[in-house]
Structure 1
C-alpha cells in the first residue's frame, strides 16, 4: 500500500486535470513518467482506469470508484500532515519577509494568500525595501527571508531563483508607430527614456547590457516606483523600461505597446534569499518550499 501512495497521488492529479500533459506540468514530471505511473497502477489493480480520447482522458467506471476513495483518503492524509505540523510549531510563530513593492504586488501576493490560508496561526510581517535594503534586513536579523531581483553578488546568501523575467521597453499610443517593427539601439537612445533610479538591481542589469554594446542609458526620467514608470509610459511621456511579466495586463489590453529591440535583453530572475549561516525556522522553510516547486 505504501509503495502505491505516489501512484495514487498521480492518479488523483490526472483525474482532476483530465489530461496526462497537464498533470505532468502540475507534478513537475514528464508526461512519459505520468503515463508509466498510471500503467503501473492499472496493472497492479488489474483494471483500466482511464479511457484515452483525442480530447484528453476520462475515468472508467472502475476509475470513478477509485477516484472517490482516493480523493477522500488523500484529503485525510493532508489533514493528518497539517496536524503533525501543528505539533511541530508550524501553526504558531512569526514569519518575517522582506520584499519590494513591485515584486510583492506582481509576484508574491498569491503565495502570501495561500500560505496564510494554510497556516493562519503564523503571523506574517512584511518589510518593504529595495534589494540592498532587503539584504540589510536579513543581515540585521530583522527578516527571515527576502524575495528580490537577481543577480546578487554576495556569498553570505543562499539564493534560489523563482521566476524568470524579461526587461522590455513599452510606450503609449503617442509612440505606437515605433512598436510596429524592431528598432536599433541607436534609435532607442534618441527616444525619451524612462527607467528606475540608478543603483537598483533592475537598472544596473539593463545598464550593463547596453554598456557591453557600447551604449549608455540616459533616461529623461529616473523614478523609484514601478507604477510611476508605467504611468509615465501610459501618459505618453516617453519609453519606459519595465518587466514584461508584470505588464501583461497593460500589454494585453493595448494600454501600452512593447517596443521591439534588434536584440532582446537577456532574461533574469526573481529569487528567494536568506543567510547561509542562519537556519530557517519551520515557518520560513515551509514558505520557501511553497514557492520553490513553481520554478
Structure 2
C-alpha cells in the first residue's frame, strides 16, 4: 500500500470537521489537492471511506471503523518522534577528533553543524594538526579518532578510507588561468607559484607525483598548512595546488578550483582509530555522520 501520513491527516480532518472546505482551510490545502489525497488513500486501501454529495460528506461504515485506527497510527508516530527528540536532548558528552587542517575549512563545518543541531548537549573538540600529529593524537588517546589522508603502518591503528580526493589549482576569479577548465603543471610555471613546505604530508604527495616528470614550477613563497596557502591565493599573491576539499564551492566570490592534469595528484582521505578501543556511543554518532557525509560528496 502506498500512501503518506499526510493522507491520514487529511482523512481525519475531513472526518472530524465533516466538510472538505473546512478541512482544506485547516490544512492549508486546496480542495482539489485534498480530494486527491482522499482518493489516493481510498485507492491504496481498496475501500471507500467517505460518501460525498453536493451538500455534505459522510463516513462510510468502513470509514467510521478506520477513524480510530488512523488516529492511533498518528498518535504512535508522534509519541515516537517525541521520544527520539527527548533522547537527543538528553545525550551529552565530548567528541574529540584530530583532523588535518585542509579538511577543516569546507568539509568538517557542515558535519559539525548537523551534529550540533541533532545533539546540542554533546561538545565537540577539534584538534587541527598535521597528518603526523593527527596520528600521534589518536595513538595517545588524545583524540577519539582522526580524519587524515596518509595510511598508517601501525598495527594498532585502523585506517578506513572515505573518499579519493584530487588536488586542484587554486586561483582567483580574476586570474588569467581562471578561464581554463583544466590546467597542466607546465602552465603554472608562467605564474607566481605558492608551495606547501617540505615536510608536510601534502607536499610529499605532490613531490611523489612529480618525481619522474620534467616540469616542476618554481615557488617564490612556501607555507606549512593548506589553509594558509588558500588565503595567500585569495589575497592575489599567486596560484597554488591544494586538495579539493580545502577549496570553497563554485559560488565563492573570489576563488576558483581548476582541474589539474599531467600528472593528476590525488590523496585518500579517511578515518583512523585505535583497533583495541571501541568507539563509545556518543563518539560513534559523530563518526557515522562523518562517514555518511563523505559518501554524499
Match in the other structure for 1:77: 80
Q: CA deviation at 1:288?
A: 0.8
Match in the other structure for 1:280: 279
- TM-score w.r.t. structure 2 length? 0.64
Q: C-alpha deviations, 1:38-96, integer Å up to 9, x for none?
A: xxx9998558xxxxxxxxxxxxxxxxx9999978755543443465678xxx8133221
2:80 aligned counterpart, secondary structure:
helix
Match in the other structure for 1:132: 132
Match in the other structure for 2:264: 265
Q: How does 1:94-243 map to 2 (within 5 A)?
A: 94-148=94-148, 150-155=149-154, 156-172=156-172, 175-176=175-176, 179-180=179-180, 182=182, 184-189=184-189, 191-216=191-216, 218-243=218-243
Structure 2 gaps of 5+ residues are: 6-40, 48-66
The answer to whether the Cα contact below 8 Å between 1:106 and 1:246 also exists between their aligned partners in 2 is yes
Q: C-alpha deviations, 1:95-118, integer Å up to 9, x for none?
A: 212224442231112222222232
CA 1:78/1:198 → structure 2, altered by over 3 Å: closer, same or farther? farther
1:127 aligned counterpart, secondary structure:
strand
The answer to whether the Cα contact below 8 Å between 2:185 and 2:216 also exists between their aligned partners in 1 is no
The answer to whether the Cα contact below 8 Å between 1:179 and 1:259 also exists between their aligned partners in 2 is no
CA 1:159/1:260 → structure 2, altered by over 3 Å: closer, same or farther? closer
Q: CA deviation at 1:177?
A: 5.0
CA 1:282/1:189 → structure 2, altered by over 3 Å: closer, same or farther? same
In 1, distance between residues paired with 2:172 and 2:111? Answer: 31
In 2, distance between residues paired with 1:246 and 1:42? Answer: 52
Rg (Cα) greater in structure: 2
In 2, distance between residues paired with 1:43 and 1:269? Answer: 51
Match in the other structure for 1:91: 91
Q: C-alpha deviations, 1:135-157, integer Å up to 9, x for none?
A: 11111111111122x13233432
Structure 1 gaps of 5+ residues are: 13-40, 48-64
In 2, distance between residues paired with 1:259 and 1:117? Answer: 34
2:106 aligned counterpart, secondary structure:
helix
C-alpha root-mean-square deviation of aligned residues, in Å? 3.9
